[in-house]
Amino acid sequence: MNTLRLWLLRIGASLLALIAILVVWIGIRFLVDPRGTEFAVGFVVASFVNNQDPPLIARDIVDGEKWGDGPRTDKNFTAILTRKFPVGSPLQAMVDELTDKGFHPIAPPAANCVAQGKPVPTGAVYTICPTSDDWKRTLRYEWGTVCGNAAEVVWQTDTLGRIARISGVIEEGGCL
């Protein structure tokens, strides 16, 4: 028992020493190249925080297909969604299941967005308003650190709140 405790203390002390060395190294690096250090630290943190795997519902097509064939990938993702959540299914059941698996709603447009075709305020920070309200009917899942990828589920409902149409899009984002 004492031998185990001694080994655990040694391992703990070694981990603390490694952390101290890392902090000193980051501090020295920051003095030499602040912007590069911010990027590197952000990248390391993002590697631990971000999803690294595609959503489970789309994993087979993402792992098995070549990227860059968007229409085929989207068609296959839509087919999976249609089988899992057929027309007439309750919307809330689909939203609950996908939210439990890491999908999240898209944020509404910024309050200061400017409608397309309208004059843009001079000297003000603004965004262009979306031309549709699809953001109200979309769930999104993002993954990857080096390459930012996303899967989106978009739907329409009938008057009773059941799924009338569902489609999926898988986007390959830019890579560092």
* Neighbouring-strand partners of residue 157: 163
Indicate the range of 9-18, 42-51, 125-134 predicted with least confidence: 42-51
Q: CB of 166 within 8 A of CB of 81?
A: yes
pTM: 0.66
Place of tokens 């297909």: 65
In this structure, what token pair is assigned to residue 152? 């989106």
Indicate the range of 36-40, 140-144, 160-164 predicted with least confidence: 36-40
Q: Average model confidence (pLDDT) for the chain? A: 81
Tell me how crowded residue 65 is: count the other CB atoms within 10 A of its CB. Answer: 14
Distance CA 169, CA 140 (A): 9
**Is it the case that residue 107 has pLDDT exceeding 60?**
yes
Tell me how crowded residue 78 is: count the other CB atoms within 10 A of its CB. Answer: 18
Distance CA 145, CA 140 (A): 16
**Taking Cα atoms as reference points, which of 135, 169, 173 lies closest to residue 58?**
169
From residue 134, alpha-carbon distances to 40, 71, 130 in Å are 35, 19, 9
- Residue 113 pLDDT level (bands cut at 50, 70, 90): confident
Q: What is the pLDDT of residue 25?
A: 77
Residue 51 or 9, more confident: 9
**Is it the case that residue 156 has pLDDT exceeding 90?**
yes
Residues 58-90 pLDDT 10s = 877 776 555 556 788 889 899 999 999 999 999
Say what percent of the chain tops pLDDT 70: 82
**Is it the case that residue 91 has pLDDT exceeding 90?**
yes
**Is it the case that residue 24 has pLDDT exceeding 90?**
no
H helical segments located in the chain: 2-32, 34-49, 59-64, 70-84, 91-100
